[in-house]
Chains A and B, each alone.
Chain A
Amino acid sequence: MTIAIASGKGGTGKTTLSVNLALYLAQKQPVILADLDVEEPNSGLFLTADLKEDLIRYNMVPRWSGQCSLCRECQANCVWNAVIVLRDRVMVYPQLCHSCYACSELCPEKALPMVPYRMGVVRHFVSDNLNFVEGRLDIGQELAVPLIAQTIKYINEKFDKKIVRIFDSPPGTSCPVIEVMKNADFVILITEPTPFGLNDLQLAVETVRQLNKPFAVVINRYGIGDNQVENYCQTQGIDIIARIPNDKAIARLYSQGKTLFDNVPSVAHELQRIEQYLFSKAGKA
């Protein structure tokens, strides 16, 4: 079973929940935690684990052979301006390339073969029952989706389907989030009980509904705001499966990069509720 943890708004606790839920479950069973916020993977800051594998990931991009008639077909065929023709050469911008292969395959002189281009790394760490896989985009790389896809592929090739996967998603509702949700069986949307939290939850709900994925809500920092989020969920028939309390002790532990499941009983209790909900759903499915 693959659970994606997402949120319309940044800073609501995606990584906190992903890390703590993964560690909580890993006390009893093997778990894979994937940090798919490849632009800014933060989960690793909260984990101590041994590096098992560090692999460079590549995208296929065109490379100019160095000689051609400069007919400019390639420039015309690229919708992303990743291939431009100057007076005496063809220049390729690998970081803009979406790997559609059009310029390469349509070049009349076969002067743009596709070659691998480094876009980032996938790192695999292990700590007891927990397998932590992180996708990390190189600085200057603009496209997150190909690396997210490759990180998920790595996980599916390496691990048994039966092992539970927790996917820490990027924030927001754009392409990278869609890529993560597409590959999940269930989505947990985490939010906070404030007007900003509600606004962004509504955007996230719209996203997950468009993908037709089953989902539920976790409210973080419960108590800091009002009950608009609860009312919204009730009206919409959305299950709220946990309410993590607003607690200065929690905030402090988080600020230090420490885990909560083993230090804060109220958090462990909420994680248990999430576990029960998820695995009762899995049983039913």
Chain B
Amino acid sequence: MKIAFTAQGTDWNAKVDPRFGRTRYILLYDEDSGELQVIDNSASVAEAHGAGPKTAALIADYDPDVLITGNGPGGNADPALRAMGIEIFTGAGGMTIRQAYEAYKNNQLRKF
């Protein structure tokens, strides 16, 4: 499974970003290969409007199965993510990526 995290930094110790559209990074964890990929989202951060859709378009190419975040995507990003069939889990705000992953595996996060 490929799991995407909204992140404020670039490694497992980074904090989860509570937002989706203007998250600084998306970290993509491939459970099969064990690889952690860093996607820079600064182009969306800089946007006045439409940050959500832009970020959604960005991750579309990476085809994640799951998205883990803090608050959840806003009204604009949501339909795009659903159209891609991504399962969204929230409640990870304040955790590190590593902690968020553990929480997800232990069913401690909220399904959006």
Contacts and interface: CB of A to CB of B under 8 A. Distances in A.
* A, B co-complexed: yes
- By size class, the interface of chain A is 10 to 19
A159 interface: no
A96 B61 contact: no
Interface residues of B, number: 17
Nearest to B44: A81
A189 interface: no
A93 B53 contact: yes
The residue in B51, B56, B76, B79 that gathers the most chain A C-beta atoms within 10 A of its C-beta is: B76
Contacts of A237: none
Contacts of B51: 81
B75 A84 contact: no
Interface string A77-101: 0001110111101010101100000
A93 B83 contact: no
B53 A91 contact: yes
Given A85-B57, A86-B57, A86-B60, A96 B80 contact: no
A69 B101 CA distance: 37
A236 B30 CA distance: 66
Contacts of B84: 86-87
B54 A91 contact: no
A283 interface: no
A40 interface: no
Interface of B: 47, 49-51, 53-54, 56-57, 60-61, 63, 75-76, 79-80, 83-84
Interface of A: 75, 80-82, 84-87, 89, 91, 93, 95-96, 140, 142
Given A86-B83, A91-B79, 8 more contacts: A81-B49, A82-B49, A84-B80, A85-B57, A86-B56, A87-B60, A87-B61, A93-B76
